[in-house]
Amino acid sequence: MDAGLKRELEEKVYAGERLTREDGVALYESDDLAWLGRLAHHKRTEMNGDRVMFNVNRHLNLTNVCSASCAYCSFQRKPGEKDAYTMRIEEAVRKAKEMEDEQLTELHIVNGLHPTLPWRYYPKVLRELKAALPNVKLKAFTATEVQWFEKISGLPADEILDELIDAGLESLTGGGAEIFDWEVRQHIVDHACHWEDWSRIHRLAHSKGLRTPSTMLYGHIEEPRHRVDHVLRLRELQDETGGFAVFIPLRYQHDFVDSADGKIRNRIQARTTMASPAESLKTFAVSRLLFDNVPHVKCFWVMHGLSVAQLSLNFGVDDLDGSVVEYKITHDADSYGTPNTMHREDLLNLIWDAGFRPVERNTRYEVVREYDAPVPLAERRAEPQQVWA
């Protein structure tokens, strides 16, 4: 990038001016990672100071049986496949109860698009979970699932959301977004929920008072301009509703053979690599700079590893998800040795070690507990330091 354009972009960021599509593409063309990080850190500090939010949550996947076969997905199974499963309601409640420790505040529930489970199953699960864990917030279902519920119930999303909210739904999840541009989307997505429906369902959720997350699956066959386009669509919707609490760039993962049947399900990995750590940090930084009206940018450490998660805090990220147990959707793909559990203490240390102040939040991004500022590294040199994978 020439020095003039660099200066121009810098001036825009420091003046708080909104960046354009062309600016976004230009930022992705820069390999000056330190510069990108500095700009994103300025923006992030302006919005969130030295705070890093985290929550104590668990992931629950009710079924991996799915009618779709998205090209990147390692999670889905067809009915009758060896490791296909569907939880009975009492099984889901038992599993959730087993995970109820460390003052759990959130259950994150996403599932395959099961071909024969009736719509009634879903609100019933939420009701039973809410009765069993009254203090735990239920963040459940992607827009893709809500659209699936429309199909299997014949009800409009309006009524579906009302019933789910009545059953205890606190927030939708952000999945199903992948990359909205059809040029890419047609090659990776097999379900029927694209930008028009995804945005319709989140808009509706926002109108009912829910705050929802937004996501982007990056690092596969898309180009930077598709990432920019994706974020700008979300930014425009956010201008309209203000209902997105957070943006979560999710790193695409190859499928490593660790499933019970030894099958590789990912159909695009021959055509692509995965995003490198540098590319991930760049994506966090550009996302923070472009998506200027979303309050938080999250690193889902399960998909990035702990080292990148820690560094991402200097590249625009101010939110870490979470203390996860059993994250199946990418853990069916991950062979990097990333742990699938982080406890509250681990997260606190990760954040303090990076020089930030941890803040525990709930699903609505309300503060549950503020923690002390970090002790400077210079004052604890004598202690053994933790090494993050």
Give the residues lining the site for ligand SF4 (CB under 6 A): 66, 68-70, 73, 75-76, 112-113, 144, 190-191
Comparing CB distances to ligand SF4, the nearer of 142 and 338 is 142
Comparing CB distances to ligand SF4, the nearer of 17 and 83 is 83
CB of 334 to ligand SF4, least distance (A): 15
Check whether 73 is labelled as a binding-site residue. yes
Comparing CB distances to ligand SF4, the nearer of 9 and 84 is 84
CB of 185 to ligand SF4, least distance (A): 12
Check whether 178 is labelled as a binding-site residue. yes
For tokens 């803040």, name the residue: 359
Other beta carbons within 10 angstroms of residue 151's beta carbon come to 12
Comparing CB distances to ligand SF4, the nearer of 64 and 314 is 64
Do you know the residue count of the chain? Answer: 389
- Whether residue 190 contacts residue 144, with contact meaning beta carbons closer than 8 Å, is answered with no
Among 321, 278, 277, smallest CA distance to 296 is for 321
Q: What is the token pair recorded at 183?
A: 């040029």
Comparing CB distances to ligand SF4, the nearer of 190 and 279 is 190
CB of 168 to ligand SF4, least distance (A): 23
CB of 280 to ligand SF4, least distance (A): 20
CB of 176 to ligand SF4, least distance (A): 7
Measured CA to CA, the distance from residue 97 to residue 109 in angstroms comes to: 14
Runs of H (alpha helix) within the chain: 3-14, 21-29, 33-48, 89-98, 121-132, 143-153, 157-166, 182-188, 195-207, 224-241, 277-290, 301-304, 306-312, 328-331, 344-353
C-alpha gyration radius of the chain = 20
- Whether residue 298 contacts residue 246, with contact meaning beta carbons closer than 8 Å, is answered with yes
Q: What is the token pair recorded at 114?
A: 């099961």
Per DSSP, the three-state class of 199 is helix
CB of 50 to ligand SF4, least distance (A): 36
Comparing CB distances to ligand SF4, the nearer of 53 and 66 is 66
Check whether 70 is labelled as a binding-site residue. yes
No. of helices (H) and no. of strands (E), the chain = 15, 11
Q: Which residues are annotated as a binding site for [4Fe-4S] cluster?
A: 66, 70, 73
Q: Which residues are annotated as a binding site?
A: 66, 70, 73, 178
